[in-house]
């Protein structure tokens, strides 16, 4: 099978859907002539024209508001927020409008928008360009949240998102854009709410998503080679809906659960997953839950300090070893 980068897989999904459905339009800062900050939309202006690939003002609230209004009028917009850190400026439009209109109008109106945004650290961009804020939006009913970890899932989940009649927040980790892996050709979708077993294991379960899937698999491989400990790694793929059935089945079999997330630890994604594990599989646990998350501090610019603040494969491996030998 051919290999594509994560960014090119996303672009391929956009092209497939724009070819298939003329209602799909793209909106965002510098996405047209410049091709986007991370070049996901590079070349799409020439291919589809300025009516369907539109540069917007530097106003996140306006971008999502325009997308929401266009969706209510029958279009299927894909809006890009240049950095997830800026999404706070659009929270009102996302949470109070896009996520609620279907309910408020008694099901008469759908809001089929996708809000794409790059998240995460590792590039030395500092505290206002490096955050992972997906936990904010898990708290908002009516909104779906996708966090693909591989190029194949980036393409398949984005196609699913663009065909969904609900608003979808599509979170893309910045360090994954250049990662290459096998991607099927043609049109295919990856369903929301269906986790992927990224690695089989018998001694503990690592539950994670986005870039931390790859880091967790590397950590698990090292753990098995060095200590003979077998760790399963579950890639959640989507946070809303959340596939807790797959998580529960694995944790019930291994008896141990480590949750890895790049976002802040306090009230983060790991906290929700951990509590649901307790609710569903407490009687199967042979050890306390563990989590490896970003530290509760602003993310530094200095690369050495950034490595201390963000989860690393070393931190994951250490926590997994301690949990497995508890």
Give kind and range of the element (H or E) at residue 324.
Answer: helix 313-324
What are the structure tokens assigned to 320, written together? 């997994």
Report the distance separating Cα 194 and Cα 247, nearest Å: 10
Other Cβ atoms closer than 10 A to 123:
14
**How much of the chain is helix, strand and coil, in % rounded to 5?**
40, 20, 40
The number of residues making up the chain comes to 326
Q: How far apart are the first and last CA of the chain?
A: 42
Closest to 99 (Cα-Cα) out of 120, 62, 59, 71? 71
Identified catalytic residue from 12, 60, 80, 272 = 60
State the burial class of residue 312 (Cβ atoms within 10 Å of its Cβ: 0-12, 13-18, 19+): middle
User: Locate tokens 């589809």: which residue?
Assistant: 48
Report the distance separating Cα 269 and Cα 227, nearest Å: 29
Output phi, psi for 109, to 5 deg.
-125, 135
Closest to 143 (Cα-Cα) out of 122, 118, 161, 123? 161
Identified catalytic residue from 29, 129, 172, 262 = 129
8-state DSSP, 299: P
Tell me, yes or no, if 129 is annotated catalytic.
Answer: yes
What are the structure tokens assigned to 65, written together? 């508001």
As annotated, the active-site residues are 60, 129
């Amino acid at each position: 099978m051919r290999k594509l980068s994560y960014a090119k897989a996303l672009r391929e999904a956009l092209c497939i859907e724009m070819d298939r459905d003329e209602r799909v339009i793209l909106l965002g800062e510098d996405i047209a002539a410049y091709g986007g900050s991370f070049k996901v939309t590079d070349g799409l202006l020439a291919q589809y024209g300025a009516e369907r690939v539109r540069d917007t003002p530097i106003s996140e609230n306006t971008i999502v508001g325009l997308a929401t209004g266009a969706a209510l009028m029958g279009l299927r917009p894909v809006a890009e927020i240049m950095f997830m850190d800026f999404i706070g400026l659009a929270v009102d439009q996302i949470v109070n409008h896009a996520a609620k209109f279907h309910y408020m109008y008694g099901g008469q109106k759908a809001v089929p928008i996708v809000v794409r945004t790059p998240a995460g650290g590792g590039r030395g961009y500092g505290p206002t360009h490096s955050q992972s804020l997906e936990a904010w939006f898990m708290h908002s009913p009516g909104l779906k949240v996708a966090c693909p970890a591989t190029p194949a899932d980036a393409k398949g989940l984005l196609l699913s998102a663009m065909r969904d009649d609900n608003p979808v927040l599509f979170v893309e980790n910045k360090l994954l854009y250049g990662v290459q892996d096998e991607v099927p050709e043609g049109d295919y979708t990856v369903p929301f709410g269906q986790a992927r077993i990224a690695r089989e294991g018998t001694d503990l379960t690592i539950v994670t998503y986005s870039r931390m899937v790859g880091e967790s698999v590397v950590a698990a491989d090292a753990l098995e080679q060095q200590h003979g400990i077998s760790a399963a790694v579950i890639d959640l793929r989507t946070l809303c809906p959340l596939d807790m059935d797959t998580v529960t089945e694995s944790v019930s079999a291994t008896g141990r659960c480590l949750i890895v997330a790049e976002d802040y630890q306090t009230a983060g994604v790991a906290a929700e997953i951990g509590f649901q594990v307790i609710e569903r599989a407490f009687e199967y646990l042979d050890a306390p839950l563990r989590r490896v998350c970003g530290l509760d501090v602003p993310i530094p610019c200095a690369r050495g300090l950034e490595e201390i603040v963000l989860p690393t494969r070393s931190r994951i491996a250490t926590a997994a070893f301690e949990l497995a030998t508890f």
